[in-house]
Amino acid sequence: MKKPPPSEYPEIRAGQSIELLKALHILTRDGKMNQDSRRKLKQVYHLYQFIEPLLQEVRNERNEITLVDHGAGKSYLGFILYDLFFKALKDTSHIYGIETREELVTHSRELAQHLDFGGMSFLNLSVAESIVSDQLPNRVDVVTALHACDTATDDAIHFAFKKQASHIVLVPCCQAEVAAVLRKNKGKQLAKDALTELWRHPIHTREFGSHLTNVLRCLQLEAHGYQVTVTELVGWEHSMKNELIIASYKNLPRQRAAQRLGEVLHSVGLEEMNARFFVDSGLLAEVKI
């Protein structure tokens, strides 16, 4: 018995739609792959390896899966997830892409219709607007936000809390809000604590502010009962914004994480941001500093 001929592109997963990969410009129109294509495909598949077990876990517990992708852009992630996982389910599982740029929403809708991906919807909303929008279900299983700039990542976390999401997958980007508050309060903090030297110089303010933002987000997630894993999405050669935060709801004890969150905010002079990171005011009321 003859062996089947080897795949022209062994990087592409079995069952992957070649037409989709062309539409996403991962393959050229004539089906070729270049170095940039391989980089994009590697990045998407690497992320898929983290998300697939979460989807399978939800699938084992529920009859259907609802996933909301915030800051969807051209919806690379949503389309790949649907193609590799959702389209085989043959049920009412659904992916919602949230994006503020109307032209990208229109293009994604047209592509989903062309590919007959009926379980995909695209909404022209900001992340903040999606929290109160009646176009989304009351309960969501998985929330993703890849490179949702600055406070959009925090809004995605708030969305996940409201929708009782089982899993949250974040790749934060452009965290400027915390750095701005650090910069504003730097003078009075310098007189109080030598550790303020960590962010005294402007470039350090930016870098420390970005790092601190993600630390605060992790504590916030833990303070809401989530188990948090922080890892690297891709190698440094692909992107400098490659920190991947995965949170899974386990109903864990919350008091210690909430206490630490309050202490960190206080120690770096960010008390004015309590409302940003303590969505649940009851948690803040229990914090003793």
Residue-range domain boundaries for the chain: 18-174
What is the predicted pLDDT for the residue at 27?
Answer: 84
Contacts of 180 (CB under 8 A, 6+ apart): 209
* Position 246 pLDDT exceeds 70: yes
Radius of gyration of the chain (CA): 21
pLDDT reported for residue 2: 45
DSSP string covering 147-172, please? EEETHHHHHHHHHHHHTT-SEEEEEE
Angle value at C-alpha 219, between 218 and 220, nearest 5 degrees: 90
Distance (Å, whole) CA 127 – CA 155: 6
pLDDT value for 4: 41
**Weakest mean pLDDT among 28-37, 192-201, 226-235:** 28-37
In the structure encoding, which two tokens stand for residue 196, read together? 């303020």
Total H helices, total E strands in the chain: 11, 7
Alpha-carbon distance of 80 to 64, in angstroms, equals: 18
Q: Give the architecture-level CATH label for domain 18-174.
A: 3-Layer(aba) Sandwich (3.40)
Which tens digits make up the pLDDT trace of 207-245? 999 999 999 999 999 999 999 999 988 654 445 568 999
Could you say which DSSP state residue 272 is in? G
Burial 111-142 (b: 16+ CB within 10 A, else e): bbeebebebbbbbbbbbeebbeeeebeeebbb
- Number of residues assigned to the chain: 289
